[in-house]
Amino acid sequence: MGLGGDWDRSPITAAEIKQGHEAVDAALSIGINLFDHADIYTRGKAEKVFGQIFKDRPGLREEMILQSKCGIKLMEPGDSTNSFDFSGGHILSSVDGTLSRLGTEYIDILLLHRPDPLMDPEEVAAALQQLKKSGKVRHFGVSNMSAAQIKLLQAYCDEPFIVNQLHLSLNQLSWLDAGLSLNRPAFKDVTFPEGTIEFCRMENIQLQAWGPLAQGLFSGRALDDQPERVVNTAAMVADLAAEKGTTPEVIVLSWLMTHPAAIQPVIGTVNPQRIAACADADMFPLSRKEWYDLYVCSRGERLP
Amino acid sequence: MGLGGDWDRSPITAAEIKQGHEAVDAALSIGINLFDHADIYTRGKAEKVFGQIFKDRPGLREEMILQSKCGIKLMEPGDSTNSFDFSGGHILSSVDGTLSRLGTEYIDILLLHRPDPLMDPEEVAAALQQLKKSGKVRHFGVSNMSAAQIKLLQAYCDEPFIVNQLHLSLNQLSWLDAGLSLNRPAFKDVTFPEGTIEFCRMENIQLQAWGPLAQGLFSGRALDDQPERVVNTAAMVADLAAEKGTTPEVIVLSWLMTHPAAIQPVIGTVNPQRIAACADADMFPLSRKEWYDLYVCSRGERLP
Amino acid sequence: MGLGGDWDRSPITAAEIKQGHEAVDAALSIGINLFDHADIYTRGKAEKVFGQIFKDRPGLREEMILQSKCGIKLMEPGDSTNSFDFSGGHILSSVDGTLSRLGTEYIDILLLHRPDPLMDPEEVAAALQQLKKSGKVRHFGVSNMSAAQIKLLQAYCDEPFIVNQLHLSLNQLSWLDAGLSLNRPAFKDVTFPEGTIEFCRMENIQLQAWGPLAQGLFSGRALDDQPERVVNTAAMVADLAAEKGTTPEVIVLSWLMTHPAAIQPVIGTVNPQRIAACADADMFPLSRKEWYDLYVCSRGERLP
């Protein structure tokens, strides 16, 4: 679970701390114990709020798997773009910043946030080894990376990458379409490097899904300007939820979790009600027919 | 050779049995001994016709390499789409159905027909092992799969996949364009996962071509609504056939067979005349110039 | 450095020999010692000019790393297209032609120029082995090839492929975009097989860049009909050159050389002034910010 909120730079308010406590309670109460951060989320405020929460509740940190990320540099005034930085210096100082904001001695899992074309795998390897040896980071992973990128990094890094966090949802389907469009016109619309899911499955790299709820598109958001396929999918999700006696959020998550790759959704909300709506997502596995119907409805095109 | 015909559910007629005998005779007489089925072809009727033929002609089955496929579930009333099913239960029952319809004890080669995104490689492996041990299937292969998909399955399956059946023809060229369009605009039109042909060649996975005759496009079909590149290619095929003293079908097949990947065309017709027109396709290898001229003509664009 | 010039068939003139001497001197004087040929460059004239230069200056050849290429067959009258030919016969006779034109006993590096879909890896392997054993070629590489194509060839060839020469420049960005567009619409515009750069880095296959100066687009060419992103990039290059006290050419090359894959630009001009303008390209490494600013400016779209 990631702490969302605005990307502002204003000081943390008491209301935000309160919201953080409520979000953590809501998450823990439904069995969520992986908390997903990044050095850049709300420009560090998300981690700071957690730091305050840990101060308020001794012992809480050890109940969690704390994950954070580094490697993206957000645009500053004078920059033309976000960029990426896997230099040893940036990785090490980013982790120190995260540890300091979180007020913890270690991160359970550190993800390299987006591929940096300027990365030097040997330099990355040295930085990760130092983080491992110092005890600051226990495990490593990546995010938004292809099989080839992971292979290149892994060839130099002793520690295994155990996670690849990708944007996967019922509304972000290229990871599936890539494998089903061989010799089909739909192949041209694929935006996902074919083989990445298969590689991660084969190498036992856990797939985490960011944006798994598709920003609420199938669970209550206004659909006025949405294409027919989205409207139809939302209706199908609602019907399934009613039929099974659960929430639309659970159906949307269960659709991901029914996939045999053991995808772990990472929910990006701090709203306790929305978190609660995700409870027991693993209790409502979908049948093959339900899974395919949802996929094809959202895809908007029959399978070959 | 696959038994085509309509996808209806009406009972098998005596005429169909007769047609089947003639098709088999035509095929055997030109040296074809691989017969390609699938549980879904004419919804099982194709296999049933062969079962009747085997009853009529004891000993015939052993002269053949019988190949069948499973894993596609055709739309039934109430379904929104065809889907795929590599569950152990579906694979096992599909093979039992095929064996029963064919009236044989074993399939020589069983192909997994299209990638099932919900496949669990361990479950597939267990099913295939059971089929192997029971003697129901001798060899295994896949169809319409990318290198990454085959690798994932092979990582779990003890038995080697020895075939990948793909749609390859003089009119379905993405398998070639994929390898020749690096840094070219044509790359955007590619619909084939680059590297799949190379992977299969490297792993000694036989490439079978379905649709190798391009539905007769270059061997007599009306070309009224076809683009110029097709019309020109058909003319070039006709000229080559006349020049070499063979049929257009042979030229079209030879174009595939001239490729050094040892592609095996699987002809999808039951018309004895058309089958006969494919005789001796391996006797008319094309020169490099002929091969490239045909490729570039059908492609409609010069090579870099 | 490749000897460019026209692709005519007229005899070599004294002026061309003089130009060749000047180009070689200009190159050697700035530390360039790799000279890049191909059997087809100016249909053999480029190599012949070098042959004459070597005659004029004994001992010069040993100061150079001589690279040439084979495998492309340019269109002749009656051909419909350029084509590719990795047959043993063509490779061997092409190398003999190159050696004869260059007037040397050996080529340091022979590249297979573009993938030949009709290549038989075993036949290629036999030809390369023969060239190695005879001493005619010392090392081998490829050009314009994907990871999968190199893997297939390497599986059969004992000698390692040590080079992959690709079109890489600040104006030919798909090799970078391919790795940064996962789940982004920009993925559809990619024209480069994702993973090829990573594979070459992992296998220690040197990346050489052809066309690294983008035909002068960022170093003085008229920009009247160019899109805004090109105009802006040229301005940014000019500013950086002024700021650092070097030439625009150096900035454009340094942008490639700053990438940690150790890309070796192969400059395609015989103009001594332009060659001189490339001097000391390795003395002006770009900062991460400069590198990303140039990339994003030329790309015309911010990074995610």
Residue C30 resides in a domain: yes
- Which of A183, A195, A201 has the CB atom closest to B191's CB atom? A183
Strand pairing class (A137-143; A161-167)? parallel
CB contact under 8 A, A155 and C202: yes
Task: State pLDDT tens for residues A100-143.
Answer: 999 999 999 999 999 999 999 999 999 999 999 999 999 999 99
Predicted pLDDT at B8:
62
CB contact under 8 A, C179 and A117: yes
Predicted pLDDT at C93:
98
- Which of B79, B87, B193 has the CB atom closest to A182's CB atom? B193
Residues on B contacting A at a C-beta cutoff of 8 Å: 79-85, 87, 114-115, 117-121, 144-149, 151-152, 155, 166-167, 172, 174-175, 188-193, 196
- Which of A146, A167, A190 has the CB atom closest to C195's CB atom? A146
Residue C238 resides in a domain: no
Task: State pLDDT tens for residues C74-105.
Answer: 988 888 889 999 999 999 999 999 999 999 99
Predicted pLDDT at C1:
41
Residue B47 resides in a domain: yes
Cα C66–Cα C67–Cα C71 angle in degrees, nearest 5? 150
Q: Is residue A1 over pLDDT 50?
A: no
Residue A79 resides in a domain: yes
- Which of C79, C87, C144 has the CB atom closest to B182's CB atom? C144
Contacts of C293 in chain A (CB under 8 A): 79-81
In terms of CA atoms, which chain A residue is nearest residue B188? Answer: A188
Give the separation between CA A304 and CA A289, rounded to whole angstroms: 16
CB contact under 8 A, B81 and A296: yes
Kindly state the greatest CA–CA separation across chain C.
58
| DSSP category for residue A135 | T
Contacts of A303 in chain B (CB under 8 A): 81-84
C5 — pLDDT class (breaks 50, 70, 90): very low
Computed over every residue of chain C, the mean pLDDT equals 94
Predicted pLDDT at C270:
87
CATH number of the CATH domain containing A112: 3.20.20.100
Are B52 and B12 in contact by the 8 Å Cβ rule? The answer is yes
Predicted pLDDT at C2:
47
Q: Is residue C164 over pLDDT 90?
A: yes
Predicted pLDDT at A8:
62
Predicted pLDDT at B280:
93
Closest CA of chain C from A100, distance in Å: 26
Task: State pLDDT tens for residues A136-170.
Answer: 999 999 999 999 999 999 999 999 999 999 999 99
Task: State pLDDT tens for residues C7-31.
Answer: 466 788 999 899 999 999 999 999 9
Give the separation between CA A65 and CA C232, rounded to whole angstroms: 46
Contacts of B292 in chain C (CB under 8 A): 80-81, 83
Query: Residue range B34-56: average pLDDT?
Result: 92
Predicted pLDDT at C10:
79
C214 — pLDDT class (breaks 50, 70, 90): very high
In terms of CA atoms, which chain C residue is nearest residue B147? Answer: C148
Q: Is residue B298 over pLDDT 70?
A: yes
Predicted pLDDT at A53:
96
Asked if C292 is an active-site residue, the reply is no
Residue A4 resides in a domain: no
Predicted pLDDT at A43:
83
Query: Residue range B158-185: average pLDDT?
Result: 97
Share of chain A above pLDDT 90, in %: 89
Share of chain B above pLDDT 90, in %: 89
Q: What is the identity of the amino acid at C128?
A: L
Q: Is residue C3 over pLDDT 60?
A: no
Query: Residue range A4-27: average pLDDT?
Result: 82
CB contact under 8 A, C172 and B179: no
Residue A135 resides in a domain: yes
In terms of CA atoms, which chain B residue is nearest residue C169? Answer: B183
Q: Is B82 helix (H, G, I), strand (E, B) or coil?
A: coil
Q: Is C160 helix (H, G, I), strand (E, B) or coil?
A: coil
B30 — pLDDT class (breaks 50, 70, 90): very high
Predicted pLDDT at B80:
85
In terms of CA atoms, which chain B residue is nearest residue C81? Answer: B302
Share of chain C above pLDDT 70, in %: 97
C174 — pLDDT class (breaks 50, 70, 90): very high
Residue A191 resides in a domain: no
Q: Is B159 helix (H, G, I), strand (E, B) or coil?
A: coil
Predicted pLDDT at B235:
98
CB contact under 8 A, A190 and C187: yes
CA separation (Å) from B54 to A238, B13, B50, C302? 52, 16, 6, 66
Q: Is residue A7 over pLDDT 70?
A: no
Task: State pLDDT tens for residues A205-247.
Answer: 999 999 999 999 999 999 999 999 999 999 999 999 999 999 9
Contacts of C191 in chain B (CB under 8 A): 181-188
Closest CA of chain A from B293, distance in Å: 23
Total domain count, chain C:
1
Q: Which of A202-211, B38-47, B94-103, B285-294 has the lowest mean pLDDT?
A: B38-47
Predicted pLDDT at B269:
87
Phi, psi values for residue B295, rounded to 5°: -60, -50
Predicted pLDDT at C41:
86
Strand pairing class (B107-112; B83-84)? unpaired
Share of chain C above pLDDT 90, in %: 89
Residue-by-residue DSSP string for C74-108: ---TT-SS-EE---HHHHHHHHHHHHHHHT-S-EE
In terms of CA atoms, which chain A residue is nearest residue C177? Answer: A117
Query: Residue range B288-302: average pLDDT?
Result: 96
Task: State pLDDT tens for residues C35-44.
Answer: 999 999 888 8
Computed over every residue of chain B, the mean pLDDT equals 94
Task: State pLDDT tens for residues B230-280.
Answer: 999 999 999 999 999 999 999 999 999 999 999 999 998 889 999 999 999
Residue A198 resides in a domain: no
Range of the domain at C38: 1-167
Predicted pLDDT at B78:
84
